[in-house]
Structure 1
Amino acid sequence: MTKSSVLANMGRKENPQNYADKDGHLKPVLGLKDMVAMGIGTVVGAGIFTMPGIVAADYAGPAVVISFIVAAFVAGLSALSYSELASAMPFAGSIYSWANVIFGEFMGWVAGWAVLSEYLIALAFVSSAWSSYFQGFVNSFGIKLPAAISGSFNPAKGQFIDLFGALALIGVGLLVMRGVKAAAIVENWLVILKVAVIILFIVVGLTAVQVNNWVPFVPAHRAGTDFGGGIGILHGASQVFFAYIGFDTIAANSAEVKNPQKTMPRAIIGTLLIATVLFVAVSAVLTGMFPYERYAGNAEPAAWALRQTGHFFTANLLSIVALVGMFTGLIALMVGGSRLLYSFGRDGLIPQQIGKLDKRGLPGNATVLMLVAAVFLGSIFPINLLSNLVSAGTLIAFILASVGVLLLRRRKDIVNTGYKVPGYPVIPILAALSAAGLFLTLNVDALILMAGWLAIGIVLYFVYGIRHSTKNEVEADSKS
């Protein structure tokens, strides 16, 4: 290819009707309650009983409540943009497909590649957390599991594979391969169970709250650190932001939703409101039960706090439900991630076999690939080294979605009779700037890792994607 042809190919915009035709084979079987459950299952995942304590101890103190509100505010602005894009373009692949239509092929690929890091690492992170909870649960009965199968690859500790995290992913992958409706039924019941226990924790925990533990509510900033003051609140917000990947998970399944123009905005905004209330309530109760310093390095602060206050039954129930409830996050992430890979294959940017649908109209090959990649990451690599990538990928997606709305309104070939962002263009601009600001508060390691991940994606695009894109076939046909 010549330099001019490469640049022209990078900027090629997908015809939205082509996506509508290709995704028309996916069956619209999901309703509003299914999508809200999927969103809550992802957002209110494994972290709700761990993140508030850890972020309070490391960054914000009792003001972790404000960190969650700041993150929710930024996510909420972006959620409005997601809602309009999902209403106008209900295609599989969410921000990847939207960016392909609005910005062109190269930016679409970059957006999709960034979001793929969200799904892979979030799957690995949650499966790793599930394994830790499971091992702690069986250890309470005096059962000691062999070190060789109990953790990520670390020969010095005699660890070679996290077998139980891998088994959790395989179980979820098999469920998702049966279809999104079957997965949604399981998801709905598990989310109801998980939310019920969260409310139980809030009610029981309130009886042990001591108001003096909230004083000072915003600890003074410690010079030379990221703790305390406004800096601590912002760093805390950037740490918890990865939870809001749930919006992209919902949007990735737009093509399988009934009446997407109404269902998608309601599901996205409903997920945000419910999740934020739960996060704020758990954070307030947790920091009120004990001084925030007590939660430093504690992987299960909520269960620990309940045991310390004598609520052993509730603590054990919380641990069991956390173990079961993590599957809600795994299901939603597996569904969303497989639809993203399907979209890559559909467009030829990865082997087109990944974009094929099976006899039931499901992206089985994409699901298998997602499963294998997540098992590899989750059972082999120490996920704590990569977890910051999730927030980085989420924020990149939110920035592009917000800018995308500005360009969408100028398109005459895309008719949107559904939801539109209020306060246009101020709200989308504010959403993009606030997400960019939060992105810059991520630690240096996270920014370096994301830069490396994007570099790999760009190399793959120029080595394979640009040469095998289905747009090449369309252009060749038009010239013949």
Structure 2
Amino acid sequence: MSGEQGSTGQTKLTGQLSLLSVVAFGVSYMSPSMVVVVFGVVATTSAGTAPTAFLLATGAMLLTGLSYARMARLHPGSGSAYSYTRHFLGAPAGFLVGWTVLLDYLFLPMVAWLVQSIFLNAQFPAVPVWAWMLMHAVATTMVNIVGVKVADRVNLLCTSVAVFVSLLFIGYLTTYLGHHWPGSCTAPLWNAHSEGFGISSAASVAAYSYLGFDAVTTLSEETRDPERTIPRAVILVLVIGGLLSTGTAYLMQLVHPGGLFDDPEIIGYTMAAQIGGQTFADWTNTADLIAGFASVLAVQLASSRLLFSMGRDGVLPKRVFGRLHPRTGTPVLCLLFTGAMCLLGLDMSLETATSFINFGAFLAFSAVNVCVIAHYLRNRTSPRLGVAGHVVAPALGLGVTVYLLSQLSATALTIGSCRLAIGFGHLLWLTRGFRRPTPEMSLDDEPAATGHVEKEAATPA
């Protein structure tokens, strides 16, 4: 059982996951093969310097990752940016961040299922996309309902396949280059066509490959020693993802110098056929689908934990979202709700579906960076990193995320702004025009987090 029993039912998750399990969830969430999917677009935008764009994106995301690691140590809890913002910037701000992130988390499983279903339909056209979506939603929902231990084992297995395929792809790239060396090992990093604006624009695209590293913080309550494990997991996920993405992009850019492609969206598949033959390309595509299942599994698990956290706080109906199943210890109704979201994507294009996400992610990144700055300015509790680590670094991270937010399409910005406005209206209704307090964290969660912050505050600067 992964939950604790209270007088009114289970409302507390318990720690079972190790550092390896949490890192595996984070890596699978980001999907190791994502670099192959977006390589063509990044290489085209950066004029053939995709690895530089991925390296820049890694550094940019690490700035925000350090802020998440800091917050996870100060305030362990399953709500991620939502919980951090409530605790350090106030309940109304936390509500708005949580509301916007919640909608992202609700749409993310739908988008992930849709992507998987499109690929499967391309390989098995006799089965329509909507049928694949339903099968995917049922499969991942059932695995997550059974319990976090089962989900952990399935995820570890699928993530192992994903990492193996990524390493195998790197091996084939290296072997191919041994027989077809392009002549210059620095051109993928900088060439005659390179320019700062193009690389920064490409980095904003590459940054989407790292969305999801923050999802590991939603597993805080189900992780052993979360104050140490979660911060380490956040950084490890980003470092592993950055090394895989940058290294793979560098080798792919050597195999195909420059940024001109017949079809940049399928360059990963065509390059796999080029370096390993058609059989290898088909096998890699199938293995990527297994990796995609792990990604969807992790996405749905993280989404359900955020729903549970907000339901337990009373922001969402507590009787529906704030309870755990007495036998499995999982938020079953939250998982069923996220599973039902696939119905919205049955007749939706991928372009339309993706316009619903990312706004909330970058808003959350910005809020967490502000939380670190606010905590430091209030307490001055940094014996090691001081202003550089708790003001300068998060300020740079804030600048990066605001820039990435500005790079979203007009459709995404409009949808995100409307969602934020609706959330503000809901907050006004909940608080009766701010005459009532915003629903606070449950008493079961406050002592540990508050006590830790007070301990930090007592530490001399």
State the match for 1:456 in structure 2: 422
Q: Distance in 2 between matches of 1:47 and 1:112?
A: 26
Aligned residues between the structures:
427
Q: 2:365 aligns with which of 398, 403, 407?
A: 398
State the match for 2:160 in structure 1: 192
Per the TM alignment, residue 49 of structure 1 is displaced from its structure 2 partner at its CA by 2.2
State the match for 1:163 in structure 2: 131
State the match for 1:11 in structure 2: none
Further displaced range: 438-447 or 276-285: 438-447
Say yes or no: does 1:101 pair with 2:87.
yes
Q: Distance in 1 between matches of 2:356 and 2:143?
A: 27
Q: 1:115 aligns with which of 101, 119, 131?
A: 101
Q: Distance in 1 between matches of 2:153 and 2:298?
A: 12
State the match for 2:201 in structure 1: 235
Per the TM alignment, residue 232 of structure 1 is displaced from its structure 2 partner at its CA by 2.4
Further displaced range: 59-68 or 441-450: 441-450
Further displaced range: 342-351 or 285-294: 285-294
State the match for 1:478 in structure 2: none
Aligned letter for 1:400?
A
State the match for 1:207 in structure 2: 175
State the match for 2:115 in structure 1: 129
Say yes or no: does 1:268 pair with 2:239.
no
State the match for 2:150 in structure 1: 182
Structure-2 change in CA distance of 1:135 and 1:404 (3 Å) = same
Per the TM alignment, residue 240 of structure 1 is displaced from its structure 2 partner at its CA by 2.7
Aligned letter for 1:409?
Y
Contact 2:49 2:258 in 1 (8 A): no
Per the TM alignment, residue 276 of structure 1 is displaced from its structure 2 partner at its CA by 0.5
State the match for 1:384 in structure 2: 351
- Which structure 2 segments of 5+ residues have no match? 1-7, 444-461
SS, match of residue 129 in structure 1: helix
State the match for 2:49 in structure 1: 63
Contact 2:33 2:166 in 1 (8 A): no
TM-score of the two chains, using structure 1 as the length reference: 0.80
Q: Distance in 1 between matches of 2:356 and 2:191?
A: 28
State the match for 1:329 in structure 2: 295
Could you report, residue by residue, the CA deviation over 1:158-211 in whole angstroms, capped at 9, with x for unpaired residues? xxxx22023212211111111112101111111111111111111112333453
Q: Distance in 2 between matches of 1:288 and 1:457?
A: 47
Q: Distance in 2 between matches of 1:473 and 1:193?
A: 40
Further displaced range: 380-389 or 163-172: 380-389
Identity, in percent, stands at 25
State the match for 1:17 in structure 2: none
SS, match of residue 25 in structure 1: strand
State the match for 2:75 in structure 1: 89
Q: 2:389 aligns with which of 417, 423, 427?
A: 423
RMSD in angstroms over aligned alpha carbons?
3.2
Q: Distance in 2 between matches of 1:393 and 1:448?
A: 12
Q: Distance in 2 between matches of 1:196 and 1:473?
A: 42
Q: Distance in 2 between matches of 1:473 and 1:284?
A: 48
Q: Counterparts in 2 of 1:468-479, with a 5 A limit? A: 470-471=439-440
Q: Distance in 2 between matches of 1:428 and 1:105?
A: 21
- Which structure 1 segments of 5+ residues have no match? 1-20, 151-161, 222-227, 475-480
TM-score of the two chains, using structure 2 as the length reference: 0.83
Per the TM alignment, residue 28 of structure 1 is displaced from its structure 2 partner at its CA by 0.6
Say yes or no: does 1:349 pair with 2:315.
yes
State the match for 2:410 in structure 1: 444
Q: Counterparts in 2 of 1:282-301, with a 5 A limit? A: 282-291=248-257, 293=259, 295=261, 297-301=263-267
SS, match of residue 176 in structure 2: coil
Q: Distance in 2 between matches of 1:251 and 1:377?
A: 27
Structure-2 change in CA distance of 1:422 and 1:170 (3 Å) = farther
SS, match of residue 124 in structure 2: helix
